[in-house]
Structure 1
Amino acid sequence: MTQSFDTPLPPPKERRRLREKGALTQAQLAAALGVSRETVRAWETGRSTPSGRKRESYGQLLASLAARPSAEVTAPQKQEPAPNLTISLSKAEKPNPHTPPPSATLTPPPPPTTAPLTPAQAFDALYAFCAPALVRQAYLLTGRRELARESVEQAFQVAWQRWPEVAVDPDPASWVRAAAYEYALSPWHRFRPRYRHPEPPPADASDRALLDVLLTLPPSYRRTLLLYDGVGLGLPETAAETEASTPAAASRLLNARSAVAARLPDLAEPDVLHRRLAETASTERLRAAKPPTVRIGSERRARFWTRAAIAVTVAIIGATALTLHSAPTRYEPPVPPGETVPGLPPRAAPGTLSTAELTLRAKLRAESANGPERLLPEPR
């Protein structure tokens, strides 16, 4: 009988124990259910719970693992191949039949002793795990290959600058993903000259149609749809990452699905939409930079802004010192306004000459301009 969508599930610790009993990794279980490895980790830690068809498939898989007999430890013998699961795995992620299941003894084997990772090694491991998928996700958000790579590099550069905070975060991958999405969806990119012209679309017609529909959605709808139907997060996790309430995230998701289904009726089913999103992002050759390059770029950026802040501070201090040095040290009263002196005729303003002034000028011009009479007065 087919289970309903409210299939009961064991506690989170029991889910992890059943997976380890079946000799499955989180990546293999995620591939079997069609979700991401982060989603399986969230299910096993209790941070989220599957719903709908994924809950039904997950419950059936755990039930099949629970029904399998435990391994015998009385005498070493050749392990039989594991029976086929109800949900098929991909070729690249099928469990190795020659790998023995974990021991059934009460005392678990001691964990392997490994040296602690340095901050650079931990950052490189996180980058290698998240960067390729984040570049493809950013491409679906923006439709631009170069902006997708730049967004992921910028997010990891910020993460390296704030590594003490990111390293202790419960989910560092979500921290970096949120930073990359925020940078990719920034409205200020439209004013940059390099992003004013569109990039060449995908070669496949169906990929072009899906990308065109995604880019017509509002940024909040596009982000919610990608997180829920593309990445495979639950609705509470999607709402938390988009900084919205759960009802608001559900409304955005329904509206985004309706808009996609109106333009592309073949993608009305969530499972089909999830597969098409993965195929569209995988067809593009999107390569991220190497982890050392990102770390060096982050350190250079930090040094640049530190030196710029020091230079601005020195300039402000110098301007303040110059102002204090050139400022007056005593009070200087202002110059009083001028006053009119009585008894003096007013100063004539420039303009046309009066009749008397014209007569005087004619008389002066008529007199001789040279001679002794101009130097000595004549006797009378």
Structure 2
Amino acid sequence: MTQSPATPLPPPKERRRLRDAAGLTQAQLAARVGVSRATVRAWETGRTTPLGRRREAYARLLAEFDATASRHRTAPGEDQDLDPAPVPAPAAAVSLEKEHTRANTTAQASEPTLTPAPTPRAVPDPTPLTAAQAFDALYAFCAPALVRQTYLLTGRRELARESVERAFQQAWDRWPEVAVDRDPAGWVRAAAYEYALSPWHRFRPRYRHPEPPPASPSHRALLDVLMDLPPSYRRTLLLYDGVGLDLPETAAETEASTRAAASRLLRAREAVTTRLPDLADPPTLHRRLAELASTERLRAARPPTVRASSERRARFWTRAAIAFTITLISATTLSLRTAPTRYEPPVPPGETVQGVPPRSAPGPLSEEALELREALRGAAESGPERLLPTPG
């Protein structure tokens, strides 16, 4: 039995160009194919490749986009519709991925969201952006939603802001690497989550006491359920049902296998459903997570402030390393100058010589010696007069 060859697809950059030429956003294209917006983003960056029916539907859409663009190039005066005919979504399969597709489709109509809203693309400027401008654009696009996500991950407002700022400081320190990454937003998100879930925060005095809970009882109950989950389960649930990543992407970001990520997700959903039965439906859970995150007044710092903090921290550690190196060199030089230039053997301890009696100290006087001493002392005082020499 032979397997039919896969439908050919254009390169990732060409896929994105065709979608932009058709005037569609990633969310609109995802709705037509029947996947999430994160999946379309992964297809356009080359991180993943569609398979099966989704590949065929995606290839048909791209072919229609290409044909429409070709007709416009050949007949610029002809008024034609840029939107191709809708392609029916593939049949639903009983899997976590299809559940997430229904969740994203339902959640698109709701106002609050955990992911950055797609913005209309402007006409590309021939002038290239500087590093600071590119960083500021990434920060303005990702930071507000990332602060809300980190709040759901930690339950602490200050820690959420600090984690996002620290993640972007690391991104600015390693900007040449982050700028060429396939998914800079995913890079920053992973760094923020890792810092937020660090176990060392429990030893900090400012994080030993709990923060005030949300005002709404339903939001407070949901946040309590999330905080009772293990950190790995909480992160998997937030990435899949909150952010909207696919299962392979969630597994890759949490550094786990797909099977392990699916198990964590199912156990986390079971724990949430046990205490909150009304959240058994994934679209409802997604909506409630978005509402909980949007009710908090969480604002991130300005991009210039984050860049200045990153540069100040880099200068501090550079100066500390230079000072430590100078101290080490000075100590080594001092040791070389004061150390002896030749070997001097130590003086051996004294040894007992055989045949020579040890020196003994005088002991106490006897009674006879005491009487003799007294007699000699008395005679010296009353002895004969001084003898004088006389001529003979």
**Fold equivalence (TM over 0.5):** yes
Distance verdict in 2 for CA 1:127–1:358, change over 3 Å: farther
1:205 matched to 2:217: yes
What is the match of residue 26 of structure 1?
26
Distance verdict in 2 for CA 1:174–1:85, change over 3 Å: same
What is the match of residue 230 of structure 2?
218
1:233 matched to 2:245: yes
Q: Structure 1 residue 163: deviation in Å?
A: 0.4
What is the match of residue 128 of structure 1?
140
- For residues 166 and 244 of structure 2, the distance between their equivalents in structure 1, rounded to whole angstroms, comes to 24
- For residues 274 and 175 of structure 1, the distance between their equivalents in structure 2, rounded to whole angstroms, comes to 23
- For residues 197 and 234 of structure 1, the distance between their equivalents in structure 2, rounded to whole angstroms, comes to 35
Q: 1:119 aligns with which of 125, 128, 131?
A: 131
Query: What do the CA deviations read for 1:270-296 (whole angstroms, capped 9, x no partner)?
Result: 111111111101100000000000000
What is the match of residue 340 of structure 2?
328
Q: Structure 1 residue 41: deviation in Å?
A: 1.8
Query: What do the CA deviations read for 1:45-103 (whole angstroms, capped 9, x no partner)?
Result: 5644789xxx8xxx79x98xx79x979867577999999999797598xxxxxxxxxxx
1:265 matched to 2:272: no
What is the match of residue 6 of structure 1?
none
Given that 1:50 and 1:234 are in contact with CA atoms closer than 8 Å, whether structure 2 keeps it comes out as no
Distance verdict in 2 for CA 1:211–1:378, change over 3 Å: farther
Q: Structure 1 residue 330: deviation in Å?
A: 1.3
SS of structure 2 residue aligned to 1:325: helix
Distance verdict in 2 for CA 1:260–1:344, change over 3 Å: same
Given that 1:32 and 1:90 are in contact with CA atoms closer than 8 Å, whether structure 2 keeps it comes out as no
Identify which range, 286-295 or 81-90, moves more after superposition: 81-90
Query: In angstroms, what is the RMSD of aligned CA positions?
Result: 4.4
Query: What do the CA deviations read for 1:285-336 (whole angstroms, capped 9, x no partner)?
Result: 0000000000000000000000000000000001101111111111111111
What is the match of residue 164 of structure 2?
152
Q: Structure 1 residue 22: deviation in Å?
A: 6.2
Q: 1:178 aligns with which of 179, 190, 193?
A: 190
What is the match of residue 302 of structure 1?
314
Q: Structure 1 residue 340: deviation in Å?
A: 3.9
- For residues 18 and 344 of structure 1, the distance between their equivalents in structure 2, rounded to whole angstroms, comes to 109
SS of structure 1 residue aligned to 2:271: helix
Distance verdict in 2 for CA 1:112–1:240, change over 3 Å: closer
Matches within 5 A, 1:283-294: 283-294=295-306
Match of 2:328, as an amino acid?
Answer: I
Identify which range, 242-251 or 14-23, moves more after superposition: 14-23
Distance verdict in 2 for CA 1:77–1:243, change over 3 Å: closer
Distance verdict in 2 for CA 1:43–1:134, change over 3 Å: same
What is the match of residue 99 of structure 2?
none
Matches within 5 A, 1:1-380: 23-26=23-26, 37-45=37-45, 47-48=47-48, 112-340=124-352, 342-346=356-360, 357=364, 373=378, 376=381, 378=383
TM-score for the superposition, normalised by structure 2: 0.72
Query: What do the CA deviations read for 1:199-230 (whole angstroms, capped 9, x no partner)?
Result: 11111111111111111111111111110100
Given that 1:221 and 1:252 are in contact with CA atoms closer than 8 Å, whether structure 2 keeps it comes out as yes
Report sequence identity in percent: 69
Q: Structure 1 residue 339: deviation in Å?
A: 3.0
SS of structure 2 residue aligned to 1:339: coil
Distance verdict in 2 for CA 1:46–1:344, change over 3 Å: closer
Given that 2:22 and 2:83 are in contact with CA atoms closer than 8 Å, whether structure 1 keeps it comes out as no
Distance verdict in 2 for CA 1:262–1:307, change over 3 Å: same
Distance verdict in 2 for CA 1:90–1:346, change over 3 Å: same
Q: Structure 1 residue 26: deviation in Å?
A: 2.8
Given that 1:48 and 1:234 are in contact with CA atoms closer than 8 Å, whether structure 2 keeps it comes out as no
Given that 2:146 and 2:164 are in contact with CA atoms closer than 8 Å, whether structure 1 keeps it comes out as yes
Gaps of 5+ in 1: 1-8, 93-110, 349-355
Bigger relative contact order, structure 1 or 2, given CA contacts below 8 A and separation 6+?
A: 2
Query: What do the CA deviations read for 1:138-192 (whole angstroms, capped 9, x no partner)?
Result: 1011000000000000000000000000000011000000000000000000011
